[in-house]
A and B are shown apart, each in its own frame.
Chain A
Amino acid sequence: MLFLPPAVLLFTLFVVMPAGEAGWYSAFNWNGFGRPTRWIGLDNYRYVFENRAFGIALWNNVLVIAVSLVVQLPLALTLAVILAERFRGAVALRMVFFLPYILAEIATGMIFSFVYDGNYGLLTAIWGWFGAEGPHLLASPATAMPAILVVIVWKYFGFHMMLFIAALQGMDRGVIEAARIDGATGWQLQRHVVLPLLYPTIRLSIFFSVVGSLQLFDLVMPLTRGGPADASHTIVSFLYTFGVMRMRVGFGSAVGVILFVICATFAFTYKRWFMRDE
């Protein structure tokens, strides 16, 4: 019993208390200097929801989640199924696909701002081969967010692939052998035996995707800083730009509280509905 207090104490001191403070500050019009004195009740929350950029940020987070589930997950799954088999080069390929995940988010952003650069970037060079002028992807509100979504898939699919490979390798060979003896062909085997056995891992991967998507921030900053015209904000980059950089601590705290409520609601309902048996 004596071993527990340090963890609880540290956690309370450095996580729960700041969060509680944020909840308290969110009721003030406060710039972060001195003591918060101007109590405005729930007005900060009203300002947040009235802000056009917040709507965009919310929608962008939905997009990130959608792409994580519709593009990234199937990609990771397919690669995992291919690479879980043992052949020469499989391990090296796994390493390569995992590489982007190890890279720091900021560094990834830097690399891709070079790739996307409309004047000198890699993409422009490829366009140049066909004689076309390169697009300034990150400078147009219509294309900035899709460009970021590509980076997200690039960076995180390897992590999910590794989850699936681990699950595939931990799988009971006997079950697959039995199905094969029963006459299941390749596709049937994957679809009706392997895939159901992967469901727990897929549920876990979805959980990571959604919570990670909601917290997306450090990839956006070096690429677009939420721009142009607030078109590529996520909730956290919105919080940072409008709350921290503009010294509106109360407003930022309100965004933080809203984000936390979204995350916590998702986490608990998801756990209750889909991850009960684990």
Chain B
Amino acid sequence: MSRPRLDGIGVFKGFFLVAALLFVLTPLVATVLGGFKSLGELRTNPFGLPDVWEWRNYADIIVSSRYWALLGNSLTIALLTVVLTLVVAAMAAFVFAHLQFWGREMLFAYITTGLLFPAATAVAAGNSSPVVM
């Protein structure tokens, strides 16, 4: 539990942290606040607090059935991914960890090449239905 001392290094650290913080937070905060502004105000006043807090944007999203349907899709994907990956990967990991057999290294390298595929390549391959965007 050492307190940072206020020497040259301490001041440098402080400045560095504040600069990084501004860099990261400005777009995020502006976006959150932007959600509360009307379109007109968004254009005249991109920074700063909204003059009139416009709750409708958020309310519209939360009550729309489409939003929940999309969220449901994401949930389905998440659940299936987690369950399937967990079961299949845990089983495979068990084998790789506990058994020595011929071709073990090769199979392991084979499976880990999967990390190198960008999702968009999978879109182009197989069929031509674009899933992204």
Chain B residues packing against A (C-beta within 8 Å): 1-4, 9, 13, 16-17, 20-21, 23-28, 30-31, 34, 42-43, 46-47, 84, 87-89, 91-92, 94-96, 99, 101, 107, 110-111, 113-128, 130, 132-133
Chain B min CB distance to A33 (Å): 8
- Which stretch in A42-50, A51-59, A77-85, A196-204 binds the other chain? A77-85
A218 to B123, CA, bound (A): 13
In the bound complex, residues from chain B placing their C-beta under 8 Å from that of A96 are 21, 24-25
Closest B residue to A97 by beta carbon equals: B24
B9-A186 in contact (CB<8A): yes
Chain B min CB distance to A165 (Å): 14
Residue from B87, B110, B121, B132 in contact with A256 in the complex, judged by beta carbons closer than 8 Å: B121
B47-A125 in contact (CB<8A): yes
Residue from B24, B91, B117 in contact with A6 in the complex, judged by beta carbons closer than 8 Å: B91
B124-A239 in contact (CB<8A): yes
Interface flags for A179-210 (1: CB within 8 Å of B; 0: not) read 00000001000000000000000000000000
A3-B92 in contact (CB<8A): yes
Closest A residue to B31 by beta carbon equals: A111
A73 interface contact, C-beta 8 A = no
Of the A-B pairs whose beta carbons lie under 8 Å apart in the complex, a sample of 8, sorted by A's number, is: A3-B92, A8-B92, A85-B4, A125-B46, A125-B47, A154-B23, A215-B118, A239-B120
Interface flags for A82-126 (1: CB within 8 Å of B; 0: not) read 110111000001001101100000100001101100011110110
Interface flags for A203-247 (1: CB within 8 Å of B; 0: not) read 000000001001101100100000000000000100110011101
A68 to B92, CA, bound (A): 33
A263 to B128, CA, bound (A): 23
A86-B1 in contact (CB<8A): yes
A97-B132 in contact (CB<8A): no
How many Cβ-Cβ contacts under 8 Å join chain A to chain B?
A: 159
A99-B24 in contact (CB<8A): yes
Given A18-B125, A115-B27, A7-B115 contact (CB < 8 Å): no
In the bound complex, residues from chain B placing their C-beta under 8 Å from that of A100 are 24, 28
A274 interface contact, C-beta 8 A = no
A93 to B131, CA, bound (A): 36
A166 interface contact, C-beta 8 A = no
A132 to B42, CA, bound (A): 20
Chain B min CB distance to A257 (Å): 9
Chain B min CB distance to A147 (Å): 12
Residue from B2, B20, B118 in contact with A97 in the complex, judged by beta carbons closer than 8 Å: B20
Chain A min CB distance to B23 (Å): 7
In the bound complex, residues from chain A placing their C-beta under 8 Å from that of B1 are 86
A64 interface contact, C-beta 8 A = no
Interface flags for A257-269 (1: CB within 8 Å of B; 0: not) read 0011001100100
